Amino acid sequence: MASRKGKILIVDDNAGIRQALQILLPLHFEQVQTLPSPVTLVSTLERFRPDVVLLDMNFNTDINTGNEGLYWTGEIRHMMPEVEVVLFTAYADIALAVEGMKRGAFDFIVKPWDNEKLLSTLTAARDKARKAMGRDAGKDSEKPGAMYWGTSEAMAAIRKTVEKIAPTDATVLITGENGTGKDVLSREIHARSLRSDRPMVAVDAGAITETLFESELFGHVKGAFTDAHTDHVGKFEQADGGTLFLDEIGNIPLHLQAKLLRVIQNRSVVRVGGSQAVPVNIRLICATNMDLEALVREGRFREDLYYRINTVHIALPPLRERREDIVPLSERFISQFAEKYHRPLTGLDDSAKAVLESGRWGGNIRELQNCIEKAVILSEGTVLSSKDIQLEQAKAVAPSAGTLKAISDAEEERLIREAVLHSNGNISAAAKMLGVSRPTLYAKMKKYGL
């Protein structure tokens, strides 16, 4: 009876399933409650406050074209992040369940279920939820991602450069294709700097709308514009004493580059609607997947801003130029995701290694990471083999989607058209495929009249 602890909420529209679980689960949970649909899910969560929600992926209402499980997973995780969600799915919807796990679900159970698998999954989810109660949420999220340097000559040279410049306040420009790890490298530089005990503030400069650019970066005072009900501290001030990381800096419109340059030169900001200059003490790191020198020649990027941010330039190589690191990176991801998704995986067999090393990896490390994550989720053994990798999907995306690096306008327009077509008009999916933010993709589509 010691294992009878915790509360579970079952949401499934099949009365037979609910009845069966009401017989089985009270042997392992103190309280079991069921719902035939998610209509009253929010109020039930607030009242019952379960440790685990066993959530069906589809309901008779069909309000979200069969994807209701994904929607409610997000709602539960947002409303009560300490509650673990286990998805209940038919075999045909395994792909949806995998997406659900990426959105925060603990695991999934396929119908018809095996009692032993069901109970072990639900009790593991319960134990994790109960352990998390009262724990400092966000503690893990503050832990920086570890930089993997690998064994290639290019990465060895970059490591030496980082070791030299990290303790200084030199401004750093990191370039490289999407997915090469520019954000990870920026965190590594901050962690090795003398500012490591101060905040690092990251900004996706390409995702900020022009109307909010100054407010987001420099702040505003109360009454500066219609919705300015209180003073707002901008990203520069938030990073005071620490590091400011400006990602996708190549996407900042030309007229806003002048305002950014002024702040970088003066090391002070004037909030929108204000008149007082506020000093800021920051270390600046910028990143882009674009060829800024080419943009300067084309008149699309200010030359003076380029030289201001380019004190030290680090160019990260694409994964295809460091193939000796593919297998070690994959094994790191296996270890990471095996722990996250509770899989007994220990590594790769020779067939899997050969397939991975032959991949094109147009999305670089990020694409490799996503490929391994999916393989781990769907795995059944203790070692991943070539049949688990599903490399054909990674290859299928690479030539048509690729990444929007420094290429001609005609080539960029072609890639965007193919990505939008490939994603059936889903802008979010197309943006993810291209490795850019949605606002950036919208701006580029407007540019080409798409």
Banded model confidence at residue 392, pLDDT cuts 50, 70, 90: very low
58-114 residue pLDDT tens: 876 544 445 788 889 988 988 888 899 999 988 767 888 888 898 899 999 998 898
Spatial separation of the C-alpha atoms in residues 10 and 198, rounded to whole Å: 44
pLDDT greater at residue 368 or residue 447: 368
> Is position 95 within any domain?
yes
> Is position 162 within any domain?
yes
| 207 shares its domain with 222 | yes
Q: With a cut of 90, say whether residue 290 has pLDDT above it.
A: yes
Contacts of 116 (CB under 8 A, 6+ apart): none
Contacts of 123 (CB under 8 A, 6+ apart): 3, 28
If you average pLDDT over each of 208-212, 256-260, 378-382, which comes out highest?
Answer: 256-260
> Is position 144 within any domain?
no
| 106 shares its domain with 245 | no
Give the CATH number for residue 281. 3.40.50.300
Q: With a cut of 80, say whether residue 229 has pLDDT above it.
A: no
Banded model confidence at residue 422, pLDDT cuts 50, 70, 90: low
| 220 shares its domain with 290 | yes
Q: With a cut of 80, say whether residue 278 has pLDDT above it.
A: yes
C-beta separation of 232 from 215 below 8 A:
yes
| 306 shares its domain with 341 | no
| 297 shares its domain with 413 | no
Query: Looking at this protein, which amino acid is placed at residue 365?
Result: I
Q: With a cut of 50, say whether residue 3 has pLDDT above it.
A: yes
* 3-class secondary-structure state, position 380: coil
Q: Count CB neighbours of 264 within 10 A.
A: 19
Mean pLDDT of 136-159: 66
> Is position 353 within any domain?
yes
Cis link prior to 112 (omega < 30° from 0)? yes
Q: With a cut of 80, say whether residue 385 has pLDDT above it.
A: yes
Please report the pLDDT score of residue 212 as a whole number. Answer: 83
Closest to 330 (Cα-Cα) out of 389, 392, 268, 394: 389
> Is position 138 within any domain?
no
C-beta separation of 88 from 56 below 8 A:
yes
Please report the pLDDT score of residue 139 as a whole number. Answer: 37
| 366 shares its domain with 288 | no
Q: Both ends of the chain: CA-CA distance in Å?
A: 63
Banded model confidence at residue 415, pLDDT cuts 50, 70, 90: confident
pLDDT greater at residue 210 or residue 353: 353
Give the CATH number for residue 330. 1.10.8.60
Phi, psi of 401, rounded to the nearest 5 degrees: -90, -60
Give the residue from 265, 283, 315 where a domain finishes.
Answer: 315
> Is position 142 within any domain?
no
Banded model confidence at residue 123, pLDDT cuts 50, 70, 90: very high
Q: With a cut of 80, say whether residue 448 has pLDDT above it.
A: no
pLDDT greater at residue 261 or residue 61: 261
Banded model confidence at residue 397, pLDDT cuts 50, 70, 90: very low
pLDDT greater at residue 229 or residue 7: 7
| 362 shares its domain with 219 | no
Average pLDDT of the chain, as a whole number: 84
Please report the pLDDT score of residue 94 as a whole number. Answer: 84
C-beta separation of 164 from 278 below 8 A:
no
| Percentage, residues of the chain above pLDDT 90 | 50
Give the CATH number for residue 435. 1.10.10
Mean pLDDT of 381-388: 90
Please report the pLDDT score of residue 393 as a whole number. Answer: 42
Mean pLDDT of 394-423: 58
**What's the count of helices (H) and strands (E) in the chain, helices before strands?**
20, 14
Spatial separation of the C-alpha atoms in residues 96 and 377, rounded to whole Å: 12
| 331 shares its domain with 284 | no
Widest distance between CA atoms in the chain? 74
Please report the pLDDT score of residue 5 as a whole number. Answer: 82
35-48 residue pLDDT tens: 998 888 988 888 88
| 299 shares its domain with 169 | yes
Mean pLDDT of 119-134: 82
Give buried/exposed letters for 227-243 (b at 16+ CB in 10 A, else e). ebeeebebbbbbbbebb
> Is position 184 within any domain?
yes
pLDDT greater at residue 305 or residue 94: 305
Which ranges of 193-288 does DSSP label H, i.e. alpha helix?
A: 213-218, 235-238, 254-266
| 185 shares its domain with 308 | yes
Spatial separation of the C-alpha atoms in residues 36 and 115, rounded to whole Å: 21
Q: In the chain, how many domains are there?
A: 4
* Domain around 96: 7-132
Give the residue from 268, 297, 315 where a domain finishes.
Answer: 315
DSSP state of 247: E
| 237 shares its domain with 186 | yes
* 3-class secondary-structure state, position 364: helix
> Is position 118 within any domain?
yes
| 161 shares its domain with 282 | yes
Give the residue from 292, 315, 338 where a domain finishes.
Answer: 315
